[in-house]
Homo-oligomer: A and B are copies of this chain.
Amino acid sequence: MSNIPSDVVVGIDLGGTKVLIGLVGPDNSVLSRYKAPTREHHQPDELLKAIAAGVHEAAKKANVPWEAIRAAGMGIPGPIDAATGVVKLAPNLGWSNVPVREVLERELGLPVGIDNDVRVATLSEFQLGAGRGHQRVVSFFVGTGIGGGLVLDGQIYHGAHNAAGEIGHTFVKAGGPLCGAGHKGCLEAMASRTAIQRDIVAAAKKGKATALKNIAGKDLAEIKSGDLAEALERNDKLTKRVVRRAAHYVGYGIASAVNLLDPEIIILGGGVVEALGDTFMNWAIERARPSIIASDARDVAIVRAELGDDAGMLGAALVARSILTHS
């Protein structure tokens, strides 16, 4: 019976609309996946109970006996108090001050580790994905917002209050348009999908023609990353102009991060980068490299994330495994 998995951990990627649960073996292989929507659960306790049930489902699916599961990790879209395991704020879930670690440990009967979703995704790209073998990694995840994570001298960097990595809120065009948090000209306000939508809607209102009206339907405020990809394929001028400018700002953000932190590798992920691929990457890179000041640092690798939708879940599994190592 040597086929019965042992030393298994659970990785949970909790997002605003869905949760992805994975059972992960000691070699970081995914033994089973379980996906569920999150919107139907209005109370944190209710959602965490449903997640615990999902973990049991995933165990059943993979024929993993419960005793083989050692710990669980979870990535959460918001800031965490690392010492207490309390989620301070998760706007997409409508949560504030939820003692997630405590509740989930009780529901699962397992030790639980939690961290910010983007940092967890950076951890998995660092240990299992595009950043393997490097000691200094800076990630940019470009989607509705822009998040980031830092690996410095071989370790995920948390900062003094577990608040490090807010690369979307570094200023690249001070005094520019507003981000969702009310700051003018931070990277998120210049280069997120929200920013791209805003600029396309504004140009269309001024009468600029765009193929997006046929692709995305009448409401341009609902443009998805896939719609932008299709418009670029059709060589839509407005989309090209707006997306290229956004990618250039990401390029400035990359150059700033390299000039400050001199990493070996920059990893770009998130919905916008996944949908627009090399087109977006090349625009970002054409602006980033000439803006890097030290000649050695200019050779930094600038690559796409490798783990896609699994990055958060696999990173959460790594957080789970790190509890076992440290205890």
Contact = CB atoms under 8 A, between A and B. Distances in A.
Interface of A: 79, 135-136, 148, 150, 152-153, 155, 157-167, 169-175, 181, 183, 185-186, 248-249, 252-253, 255-257, 259-264, 291, 293-294, 296-297, 300
B294 A79 contact: yes
A5 to B, nearest CB: 36
Given A173-B173, A256-B256, A291-B171, A136 B160 contact: yes
Contacts of A263: 159-160
A163 B297 contact: yes
B294 A259 contact: no
Contact of A293 (B155, B169, B172): B169
A76 B158 CA distance: 31
Contact of A262 (B152, B161, B171, B257): B161
30 contacts: A136-B160, A150-B261, A152-B152, A152-B157, A158-B262, A160-B262, A161-B297, A162-B296, A163-B262, A163-B294, A163-B297, A164-B262, A165-B260, A166-B260, A166-B294, A169-B256, A169-B293, A170-B170, A170-B259, A171-B172, A171-B252, A171-B253, A171-B256, A172-B172, A173-B174, A174-B249, A174-B252, A183-B293, A186-B259, A257-B260
